[in-house]
Amino acid sequence: MLTRIDHIGIACFDLDETVEFYRATYGFEVLHTEANEEQGLREAMLRINGASDGGASYVQLLESTRDDSVIGKWLAKNGEGVHHIAFGTEDVDGDAEAVRGKGVRVLYDEPRRGSMGSRITFLHPKDCHGVLTELVTAAPQATPGH
């Protein structure tokens, strides 16, 4: 089932400023950046470490590009901070079905495209003790871990 903590998603007002903070404070470097117009956000993935399963753990910084995006609405309500936790899995489809069978609401009927070509879905925070939870399967050609 789940193999590791893939990443912690952190919502921020200024992606470049926040990246610089993580670089200067912790020495994390940006592995990948992308803009997702469909979701109305820009993101940066900062690699923390490798894992024994060949994956890695990341900090994902998320900046809204539109006030009406999920991140834009979240920032307006909550300000900057932890937005979600993501668990890595080899089978996002199977694991989503397994947790759905245990009464947890899965937010997407079918997994969607995530960062770096990954496949993702989210679990409802009210069913996960207040934590928005993401399940992630890395794209085959992606850097191990995401």
> CATH number of the domain that 62 lies in?
3.10.180.10
Cα-to-chain-centroid distance, residue 78: 18
The SS3 assignment for 133 reads: strand
Query: In this structure, is residue 146 part of a structural domain?
Result: no
pTM given for the model: 0.88
Query: In this structure, is residue 43 part of a structural domain?
Result: yes
pLDDT over 90 at 141, yes or no: no
What is the count of structural domains for the chain? 1
The SS3 assignment for 97 reads: helix
Percent of the chain with pLDDT over 90: 79
Query: In this structure, is residue 107 part of a structural domain?
Result: yes
pLDDT at 144: 44
The residue type at 75? L
Catalytic residues, which ones? Answer: 7, 43, 60, 84, 134
